[in-house]
Amino acid sequence: MTDTIAAVATPMIPSAIGILRLSGPGAAAAVDRVFTPFHGGPMSRRADRTLVYGALRDREGRVIDHCLCTVSRAPRSYTGEDTAELQCHGSPAALTLGLEALFAAGARQALPGEFTKRAFLNGRLDLTRTEAVADLIHAETPAAVRQAAGQLGGALERAADGIYQELADLCAHFHAVLDYPDEDIEPFEAAELSAALDRAADKLDGLAATYRRGRLLNEGVPCAIVGRPNAGKSTLFNALLGRERAIVTDIPGTTRDTVEERVSLGGVVLRLIDTAGLRDTEDAVERLGVERSRAAMEGAELILAVTDGSADFTAEDAKVTRLAAASGRPWVWVMSKQDLTGPCALWSAAPEGGAAACVSLSARTGYGMDKLEQAVAALFPPPEELEAGAMLTSARQAEAAGRAREAVRRGAEALSAGLSPDAVVADVEQAMSALGELTGRTVSEDVTARIFERFCVGK
């Protein structure tokens, strides 16, 4: 028997509405102790999902707020347990008193994520949907919101489940043939097995391929700003951030360490990294900074290579654009300090490096910043309606899906190497187990259930 948990579900700041939430067998009884409807009987005798207006009381029974209350009973609730919600005014002091009253009425403080954990344990949400709840809360862009909402709606669960079901069919068939030789079940065809494995492998490849974009969508795009000292990197960094985060001076070599901040640009979250200028230097500290900026470039998914548009294009600039081009990452060539030179930048002054875009801008006046925004938006377009939600977005998901893929591939190889179906099926079961981890379901029960369900064995 589980206990009853309670928590303030909204931020503890003065606000329009604050919500006290409960889940567990004692939810309605606890609410009865702290909430008195203005009309009608106590909440424990009310219908599910109706809003009731009444008084919220502290542990001594004194009225501390007028609020709305609703109950949803097991199993048709978010957690799958009896739940209740008190929609109060957003007063941190009143909410604290209300929560203390709920504790006095038998509830205990919920742990972080405990409501959603109970929803998972009670089978209301699979693991991917559980993760989507957290993703949605932390989403920073419209695209990330739609992705999380799609995953919350079960898009990834269905994708993983589709593959799982096909593999389960294979196993069920195999076990049926093996375990019930007297039944009239079609024998196993190697060609059929091979085709089914290829289908699953293709789907898993497709799923794995979504991870890069899903991760960037969820975690943000690591974006290194590189260039020689005094090119205007830190000024651009601050302009994108909208505040003076990095130190700007006209002394070359001021930025010696990498500085990272999140910023939303063109509907894309950038993990913007300001780096030390790339140049050969004798200064030990600065050299360390240069090493770090090289590392930042290696870890980046987007590079902004900044050259000073008001000065000559130097050998150092050429080195920077060459490094950016050689990185294999999409890169944008930013020619800075447009306010000093006018908009006609001489791109031809430098070698062709396959930049995704060339932008002449002034971080000081803001000229051209919209072009940079458009370039970023074009490089990281939001997912299509149908893709949203069906992408791998976390390392956990990618790892599980990757293991499934490896196992299916091993199975396919074993089959073409002429190994017995037993060996192949062992790999298939491992793939199912990995997919089961992705969504949080179990394996053997499903396979067993399926044998009886689909093949009517033993009837």
Ligand X SMILES: Nc1nc2c(ncn2[C@@H]2O[C@H](COP(=O)(O)OP(=O)(O)O)[C@@H](O)[C@H]2O)c(=O)[nH]1
Binding positions for ligand X, rule: CB under 6 A: 227, 229-235, 248-250, 254-255, 277, 336-337, 339-340, 362-364
H, E, C per residue of 281-310: CCCHHHHHHHHHHHHHHHHCCEEEEEEECC
Choose among ligand X, Mg ion, none what residue 33 binds, the Cβ cut-off being 5 to 8 Å by kind: none
| Beta carbon of residue 371, minimum distance to Mg ion (angstroms, whole number) | 22
Between 221 and 231, name the residue whose CB sits nearer to ligand X: 231
In whole angstroms, what is the distance from residue 434 CA to residue 405 CA? 9
Q: Is the peptide bond before 42 cis (omega within 30 degrees of 0)?
A: no
Choose among Mg ion, ligand X, none what residue 364 binds, the Cβ cut-off being 5 to 8 Å by kind: ligand X
In whole angstroms, what is the distance from residue 178 CA to residue 188 CA? 10
Choose among ligand X, Mg ion, none what residue 70 binds, the Cβ cut-off being 5 to 8 Å by kind: none
Between 211 and 331, name the residue whose CB sits nearer to ligand X: 331
By C-alpha distance, which of 119, 94, 100 is closest to 2? 119
Contact 14, 90 (CB under 8 A): yes
Choose among Mg ion, ligand X, none what residue 340 binds, the Cβ cut-off being 5 to 8 Å by kind: ligand X
Distances in Å between the Cα of 358 and the Cα atoms of 97, 230, 280, 301, 377 are 58, 19, 26, 17, 14
**Paired residues of 5 in beta bridges:** 23, 108
| Beta carbon of residue 107, minimum distance to ligand X (angstroms, whole number) | 54
| Beta carbon of residue 393, minimum distance to ligand X (angstroms, whole number) | 33
- Residues 234-253 contacting Mg ion, CB under 5 A: 234
| Beta carbon of residue 366, minimum distance to ligand X (angstroms, whole number) | 9
Choose among Mg ion, ligand X, none what residue 339 binds, the Cβ cut-off being 5 to 8 Å by kind: ligand X
Between 232 and 389, name the residue whose CB sits nearer to ligand X: 232
Between 70 and 336, name the residue whose CB sits nearer to ligand X: 336
| Beta carbon of residue 300, minimum distance to ligand X (angstroms, whole number) | 16
| Beta carbon of residue 143, minimum distance to ligand X (angstroms, whole number) | 29
| Beta carbon of residue 374, minimum distance to ligand X (angstroms, whole number) | 19
Choose among ligand X, Mg ion, none what residue 281 binds, the Cβ cut-off being 5 to 8 Å by kind: none
Choose among ligand X, Mg ion, none what residue 362 binds, the Cβ cut-off being 5 to 8 Å by kind: ligand X
| Beta carbon of residue 235, minimum distance to ligand X (angstroms, whole number) | 3
Which of 72, 77, 87, 255 forms a contact with Mg ion (CB under 5 A)? 255
Between 235 and 430, name the residue whose CB sits nearer to ligand X: 235
Choose among ligand X, Mg ion, none what residue 337 binds, the Cβ cut-off being 5 to 8 Å by kind: ligand X
Between 218 and 255, name the residue whose CB sits nearer to Mg ion: 255
| Beta carbon of residue 260, minimum distance to ligand X (angstroms, whole number) | 15
Helix (H, G, I), strand (E, B) or coil at 57: strand
Choose among Mg ion, ligand X, none what residue 382 binds, the Cβ cut-off being 5 to 8 Å by kind: none
Does the footprint of Mg ion cover residue 10 (CB under 5 A)? no
Between 58 and 260, name the residue whose CB sits nearer to ligand X: 260
Q: Which residues bind Mg ion (CB under 5 A)?
A: 233-234, 255
